[in-house]
Amino acid sequence: MGRPHGFEGLGLMNMRKAASGRVARAAGMIGAFSVAITLATTGLAQAATPGNLKVCTGKNFYVTVKLPGRGGLSVTPAKFPNKVSCATTHLGGKTNERVDVFAGDRYMGSFIYNGQRGAEVHGIPGPSFYVS
C-alpha cells in the first residue's frame, strides 16, 4: 500500500520550509548582531558633550538644524566639496527641546535635544541623518 496520489512531494516541501525558516532566522540573528556591534563601537567614539549641539554636513549636502523654541535659531556648518564638516554650538539647557533637521530646504525629521546630554547630528547619504 503506497501513499495516496498527490502526496509524493509533501515530505520534500516540509524539509524545504524548515530549511528556509532556519536560514531566515540565522540571517535575522546575524543582522541584529551586526547592528548591535556597530552601535556599540560607534556610540563610544561619538559621544555627545553635555550642553553642546554638534552638527555635521553630509559629504555632498548641507545639514541645517533649527530650534523653534529658541526663536528659530538655526545652525548650518560650512560645506566643502566632497567633505564632511562640523560646527559645534554651546546651547546649555536642562529641558527637552525639539530640533528640526533639514538638508538644504528639505525637511528630514526632528529629534529631542536635552542640554544635560548634548547631541551630535550627522548627515548620511540619502540624504538622511542620525543623532548620537
Q: How confident is the model at residue 34 (pLDDT cuts 50, 70, 90)?
A: very low
Pair 33, 83 in one domain: no
Pair 58, 90 in one domain: yes
Over the stretch 85-111, which tens digit does the pLDDT of each residue have?
999 999 999 999 999 999 999 999 999
Pair 58, 100 in one domain: yes
Residue 55 β-bridge partners: 87, 121
* Amino acid letter, residue 107: Y
Q: Which residue has the higher pLDDT, 116 or 9?
A: 116
Other CB atoms within a 10 A radius of the CB of residue 20 amount to 10
Pair 61, 120 in one domain: yes
Pair 71, 93 in one domain: yes
Q: Which residue has the higher pLDDT, 13 or 60?
A: 60
Q: Which residue has the higher pLDDT, 67 or 26?
A: 67
Q: Are 75 and 87 in contact, with CB atoms under 8 Å apart?
A: yes
pLDDT at residue 4, as a whole number: 54
pLDDT at residue 102, as a whole number: 98
Domain tally, the chain:
2
Residues 43, 49, 52, 56, Cα dihedral to 10°: -30
Over the stretch 68-82, which tens digit does the pLDDT of each residue have?
999 999 999 999 999
Q: What is the pTM of this model?
A: 0.65
Three-state helix/strand/coil letters over 26-75: HHHHHHHHHHHHHHHHHHHHCCCCCCEEEEECCCCCCCEEEEHHHCCEEE
Omega within 30 of 0 (cis) for the link into 127: yes
**Domain span including residue 123:** 52-131
Other CB atoms within a 10 A radius of the CB of residue 57 amount to 24
For residue 102, give the nearest of 77, 119, 132 by alpha carbon.
Answer: 77
